């Protein structure tokens, strides 16, 4: 390579920076710029002076590319299934998406499955326990420990109702999907495997509806207690001495009644939520 015998003058640098040269001339200027630091400096100065906004934009893009935070596994999964960028950041704080929570859910389900196989009425136990899981998720998410930033979130303009709905949908998904997978291995009638879905939905929608009068997590705790009391009452009422065949018919009957009751509860809860949709749930009007 030989040293250049010519250099860019002001006018040429100006026109090149502004993009006003013919392709052939521009190519020749570029060839020269590769070898000549002085002229590069000249053009650089011109370019920034000519379009400061454009260069600030390019710079911010570079900073963004270099410094953009790496997303955690939860956010990456959410993005992959089509959840928006900002929504996935918000959902990433939902406690039921944490590894410890998911492992606990799977452990409970596997244990319940074991009992279902080991005891003649074990399937009923599974069907009674599975609907409780989303409630536990709601308690974990909306309880005092749920969102450590809740006080700042409360003063932010983001719609509280939208936050509540998105998080609840996520609690449902993260508890019911594992339960659905495990329940496929239940013994007995195939429809037992999905018998808990309606009560699960009923308890969760009832929680959301009740949230108009009591804080969400308290509504969930109340319904959880009610459900367990009903289940325990039923269990004791049947008595331990009955023959298995009788118990099996009773189980079928109980499960059918629960299905019908669940549909009624879901309908009522949906009506309540629709009626109050413009008001904020109780704990989002937090007064304490």
Partner 1 sequence: MSTIDGHGLVKAFGRTRAVDGLDLTTSTGVTGLLGPNGAGKTTLLRMLATVTSYDAGSLRVLGHDPQDAAARLAIRRRLGYLPQEAGFHRGFTAFEAVDYIAVLKEHDERRARHAEVRRVLELVGLSDVATTKVGALSGGMRRRLGLAQALLGDPDLLILDEPTVGLDPQQRIRFRDLVAEAGSGRTVLLSTHQTEDVATVCSDVIVIDGGRRVFGGTIDELVDLARDRVWLDDRRDPRALAAWRLGDGSYHHVGDPPDGAQLAPAGIEDAYLVLIGPTAAASDVA
Alpha helices in 132-215 (DSSP H): 132-142, 150-154, 160-183, 192-195, 197-210
Provide the 8-state DSSP code for 92. T
Nearer to partner 1, 56 or 110 (CB): 56
Q: What's the closest the beta carbon of residue 269 comes to partner 1, in angstroms? A: 23
- Please identify, using beta-carbon distances, which residue of 58 and 181 lies nearer to partner 1: 58
Instruction: Report the C-alpha gap between 128 and 125 in whole angstroms.
Output: 5
CB atoms within 10 A of CB 63: 10
Question: Interface residues with partner 1 (CB under 8 A)?
Answer: 60-61, 63-64, 67-69, 72, 85-86, 89-90, 92-93, 98, 147-149, 151-158, 163, 280, 285-288
Residue 122 or 281: the one with the smaller Cβ distance to partner 1 is: 281
- Which CB sits closer to partner 1, 66 or 81? 66
Cα–Cα distance, 264 to 158 (Å, whole number): 33
Smaller CB separation from partner 1, 149 or 249: 149
Minimum Å gap between C-beta 172 and partner 1 is 21
Quote the least distance from Cβ 83 to partner 1, whole Å. Answer: 13
Instruction: Using the Cα atoms of residue 269, residue 157, residue 92 and residue 62 in order, give the sign of their dihedral.
Output: positive
Q: How far is the CB of 79 from partner 1 (least distance, A)?
A: 11
How many other CB atoms are found less than 10 A from the CB of residue 193? 21
Report, in Å, the least distance between residue 148 CB and partner 1: 3
> Quick one: CA dihedral 199, 204, 209, 210, positive or negative?
positive
End-to-end alpha carbon distance in the chain: 78
Nearer to partner 1, 141 or 204 (CB): 141
Question: Nearest approach, Cβ of 65 to partner 1 (angstroms)?
Answer: 10
How many contiguous H segments (helices) and E segments (strands) does the chain have? Answer: 15, 0
- Alpha-carbon torsion (243, 127, 133, 119), positive or negative: positive
């Amino acid at each position: 390579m030989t040293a250049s015998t010519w250099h860019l003058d002001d006018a040429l640098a100006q026109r090149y920076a502004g993009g006003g040269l013919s392709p052939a001339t521009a190519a020749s200027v570029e060839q020269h710029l590769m070898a000549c630091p002085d002229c590069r400096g000249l053009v650089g100065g011109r370019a920034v002076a000519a379009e400061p906004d454009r260069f600030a934009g390019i710079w911010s893009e570079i900073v963004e590319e270099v410094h953009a935070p790496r997303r955690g596994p939860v956010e990456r999964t959410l993005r992959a299934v089509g959840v928006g960028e900002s929504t996935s950041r918000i959902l990433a704080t939902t406690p039921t998406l944490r590894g410890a929570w998911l492992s606990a859910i799977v452990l409970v389900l596997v244990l319940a499955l074991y009992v279902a196989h080991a005891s003649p009425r074990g399937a009923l136990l599974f069907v009674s326990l599975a609907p409780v899981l989303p409630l536990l998720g709601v308690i974990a998410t909306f309880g005092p420990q749920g969102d450590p930033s809740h006080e700042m979130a409360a003063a932010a303009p983001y719609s509280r109702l939208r936050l509540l709905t998105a998080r609840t949908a996520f609690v449902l998904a993260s508890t019911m999907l594992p339960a659905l997978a495990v329940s496929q291995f239940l013994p007995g009638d195939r429809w037992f495997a999905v018998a808990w879905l309606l009560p699960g939905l009923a308890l969760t929608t009832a929680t959301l509806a009740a949230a108009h009068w009591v804080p969400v997590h308290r509504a969930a705790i109340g319904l959880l207690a009610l459900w367990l009391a009903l289940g325990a009452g039923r269990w004791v009422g049947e008595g331990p001495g009955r023959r298995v065949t009788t118990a099996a018919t009773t189980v079928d009957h109980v499960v059918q009644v629960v299905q019908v009751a669940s549909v009624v509860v879901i309908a009522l809860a949906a009506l309540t939520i629709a009626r109050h949709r413009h008001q904020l749930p109780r704990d989002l009007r937090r007064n304490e």
